[in-house]
Amino acid sequence: MFSALLEKSWWAKKATPLSSLLTPLATVYGAVIALRRALYSRGLLTRSHPGVPVLVVGNVVVGGAGKTPVVQAIVRCLQQAGYRPGIISRGYPVSPKAPRSVTSRSIATDVGDEPLLHFAMGVPVVVCADRMAAATALLEQHPDVNILVADDALQHYALMRDIEVEVISAERRYGNGKLLPAGPLREPRARASTCELRLMPSWVTPSGGHKEGNHHVVRRKLGDAYALIEPGRKTPLATFAQSRPAIVAGIANPRQFYDALLRAGVQGQLFAFSDHYNFRVSDFDAIGERSILMTEKDAAKCASFADRRMWVVPLSVHFAPETKRKLLLLVRNAAAIYAPPVIAAPADTPKSEDGPQIT
């Protein structure tokens, strides 16, 4: 009850009595995080770098901002440009203390739900609460990886990084602008301005083109639904337009998924669960024989007991050409730092048609 009231206060357009009451605690929290960051920047707390470019994706706001599809869009962009990316993650809510590689046999209770979606892209994924340990393990197992994407690691300062990507929801933005617990901010809003690339997933393209203020707007899109028991079987969302399906969502903002389906012409009944909810068979008993639409993140935890009612609706984000160019420029500049040096031959080295002569 209190958590729901607190969250409502965070996203209110005007200051609430509860947020005002909690402001002194937010001041203390702000001092603690400022001290922590200063200790890292001055070398009093250990920071490490894995030796290949590191791109971290995160936000300064708690809760979902659409980081998972953004990470996947970044990985696709890197792959298309010829890079060999790997992904490291905390693996929330599991957060193992020792590195765990995600495999085709992994389940959400072992590695978390989002890493399973990343692994489905065909890239190596390692989860660990210690992101540097995850990076080390991944590079040992996959020495061909030449860039690491760290999912939700903006505040994990023990891992040194080359590029920071902020993700912010177009709907919720920064809420009331206050730090925890008075507001939803993990760090002051000004922290976001230090990120090299700032992305805003949205369902609409802004009138000004691909940017809104300092943020690059990336378009969200829903794909055709596919059967959870038979992923190769797909159907357009229009199939469910007249059947009033059950809409199941265990994500940070379930209403957002409901609204997206409504815009696609599908009106159903929302069954909202907490973020990263660990679904059980009994959670679906009250739904009856209706079709069930769910996110890929939730489907990862329902695969073991899937039935014919369950349909998965994939969500992807798409970068404008200008956004891709900026991302790849940042990556290219970072990669140049770690590229092996090219040693030119001395000008007086004798050469022949058979190549350099070494004496």
Task: Give the helix ranges, DSSP H, for the chain.
Answer: 2-10, 17-41, 67-80, 108-111, 113-119, 131-141, 254-263, 296-299, 321-338
Of 50-54, 61-65, 234-238, 253-257, the poorest mean pLDDT is in 61-65
DSSP 90-101: --TTT--SS-EE
pLDDT over 50 (residue 282): yes
Domain positions in the chain: 41-83+146-220+317-335, 224-313
**How confident is the model over 67-85, as pLDDT tens digits?**
899 999 999 999 999 999 9
Task: Note the pTM of the prediction, 2 decimals.
Answer: 0.87
Token representation of residue 174: 């920064």
Return the higher-pLDDT residue of 325 and 170: 325
pLDDT band at 12 (very low <50, low <70, confident <90, very high): confident
pLDDT band at 341 (very low <50, low <70, confident <90, very high): low
Which residue matches tokens 């995850």? 134
- The helix/strand/coil state of 197 is strand
Return the higher-pLDDT residue of 350 and 12: 12
Verify cis geometry, omega within 30 degrees of 0, for the bond prior to 206.
Answer: no
Burial readout 180-196 (b: 16 or more C-beta within 10 A, e: otherwise):
bbbbbbbbebebbeebb
What is d(CA 259, CA 225) in angstroms, rounded to the nearest whole number?
16
pLDDT over 60 (residue 352): no
What is d(CA 277, CA 43) in angstroms, rounded to the nearest whole number?
38
**How confident is the model over 146-168, as pLDDT tens digits?**
999 999 999 999 999 999 999 99
Element (H, E) at 141: helix 131-141
